[in-house]
Chain A
Amino acid sequence: MIDDDTEIIEEIINGDIDKYEYIIKKYQLRIINLCYKYTKNHSDAEDVAQESFLKAYNSLSKFRFESKFYSWLHRIAINCSLNYINSKEKLREKETISENSGLINNEGEVMDIMARSDQAGTDTPYNSYNLEDMAKTIDFVYNNLPDDLKLVLKLRDIDDMTYDSIALETNLPIGTVRSKLHRARELLSKTIKKDIEDE
């Protein structure tokens, strides 16, 4: 199976640890978002995503290149999220048992856990990127793109089509498809760059 990440993964396995940061940066948002679906909490989602990336790194030598790297990472993230849910459920069960049997002499401890959990839900804006705001700006720029650029961008980045398929779909040569995609991405990237620098 052809995967964009094959080369970079091989380099990491051969000892170029720094390259793993490319992988993290490439998939961090999608993995955090996946974990968020399970954890329903931003801070916990980041923790679980972090654990998933670390687990993937430690098991990288076991990756057989039979599937796409992202599919493998996706599976690891789901497993980590499920483990997180199980551990949280166990904690909740313990709390319920303690409350029901009247054995709460460490009530303060339970309150601490709850407070930490609540606190975890609120992010500190100064060390985080606000993606909701970024998305609003991106949507605005995307909607105002010329139709031909918007179409190519949609087919490639949203529908994950190959360059060949896009060329067939749009009746354009592959070179033109590439250049249109490059222009579209550049216009949107400028917006993101500006947002990142402002934050």
Chain B
Amino acid sequence: MNESKKNIEINSILKAILKREYPSYISKNFSSQIMDKIYKTSFRNNIYSHTLRIASAVTFAVATLFLMESFFVDKVKYSKTTINHEIIAPTKNVTNQVDDCDKVNDNIKSSDKLECK
């Protein structure tokens, strides 16, 4: 036994006897029994907390990977890797059409002059 622990035990026995606060018997391994239980509990707690830490780290890593994948990887699937077609800009053909006079005349005000066929 550690010397200082032994001294504490002896002093406590001495004090208890002087104060008349002692039981008739005490197990020699009373304190070590309690310490064993404490060590076992703390060992179990350590394993639990380590497992919990590892599990949370793995979960976090998987979630991050999933997020990164969904942000950065393009989901559009192309049929070809290269596009050979020329891109033609869409145009609009407009013809300079002039309406017939008899169609237009109904809507003409007197002041207006309108060119027609």
With beta carbons under 8 angstroms apart, the residue of B17, B31, B35, B38 that contacts A134 is: B17
Interface size for A (C-beta < 8 A) is 48
Contact of B25 among A18, A22, A28, A123 (CB under 8 A): A123
Q: Which residue of B lies closest to A50 (CB)?
A: B34
> Which residues of the other chain, B, contact A134 by a CB distance below 8 angstroms?
13, 17
- Closest CB-CB distance, B16 to chain A, in whole Å? 4
**B window 6-37: CB within 8 A of A:** 7-19, 21-35, 37
Q: How far is the CB of B92 from chain A (nearest CB, A)?
A: 79
Tell me, yes or no, whether A53 is within 8 Å of chain B by CB.
Answer: yes
Main secondary structure of the interface of A (DSSP, over half): helix
Question: DSSP class of B's interface residues: helix, strand, loop or mixed?
Answer: helix
Interface residues of A in 166-199 (CB under 8 A from B): 185, 188-189, 192-193, 196, 199
Q: Which segment, of A29-37, A80-88, A97-105, A107-115, faces chain B?
A: A29-37
Most buried by A among B11, B24, B25, B33: B25
The number of residues on chain B lying at the interface, defined by a beta carbon within 8 Å of a beta carbon of chain A, is 34
9 residue pairs, one from A and one from B, having the closest CB atoms:
A29-B16, A24-B31, A128-B25, A123-B25, A25-B9, A135-B17, A32-B23, A25-B8, A138-B17
Binding site for B on A (CB under 8 A): 17-18, 20-22, 24-30, 32-34, 36, 42, 45-46, 49-50, 53-54, 57, 123, 125, 127-132, 134-135, 138-139, 142, 153-154, 157-158, 185, 188-189, 192-193, 196, 199
Residue numbers of B with Cβ under 8 A of A are 4-5, 7-19, 21-35, 37-39, 42
